[in-house]
Structure 1
Amino acid sequence: MAVAKKDQERIGYAWMYGAQARKDGKERAVPEYWNEHAEAWLQGFDGVPLAGAGTSKPVSDQLEAEFDEAALSKPGT
């Protein structure tokens, strides 16, 4: 079944927000805003990859520490 691009984006965001909630130590309860995409939110919270997302590496808990200020600044600023 084909899913509209906008829905795919919202599913991806629901998954990311679920994963972030787990990292922040929040409880495993889907916020009302994400009820429409609760399954994706819970998959993110549980660390389950999204179906059809390919083989992506998980985001490191230390991602911010892996980048220095020069790598994040715009060229020429």
Structure 2
Amino acid sequence: MAVAKKDQERANYAWMYGAQARKDGKERAVPEYWDEWRDDWLQGFDGVPLDGAGRATPVSDQMEAEVDEAAVDRSGT
């Protein structure tokens, strides 16, 4: 099922504000403003990744070893 872009943006923001609340040491209580997006806010607070296809995956610590240096240098200059 496709999710409307506006709804996806709101879910992302709710998640980010939840994550920031945890970093700020606030209690795990969803502010009234985010009540409609409660699940996303709590996922952010708990450090749970948001559901959704097409999410970027984190770059591994071994990135330099995985990347072919010659391919990176082929910038056309």
TM-score (norm 2): 0.69
Is the aligned partner of 1:52 residue 2:48?
A: no
- Extract unaligned runs of 5+ from structure 1: 58-77
- Give the match for residue 22 of structure 1: 22
Instruction: Give % identity.
Output: 79
Evaluate the alpha carbon distance shift between residue 16 and residue 56 of structure 1 in structure 2; reply closer, same or farther with a 3 A threshold: farther
- Give the match for residue 9 of structure 2: 9
Task: Compare CA radii of gyration and give the structure with the larger one.
Answer: 2
Q: Report the alpha carbon displacement of residue 38 of structure 1 after superposing the two structures with TM.
A: 0.3
TM-score (norm 1): 0.69
- Extract unaligned runs of 5+ from structure 2: 59-77
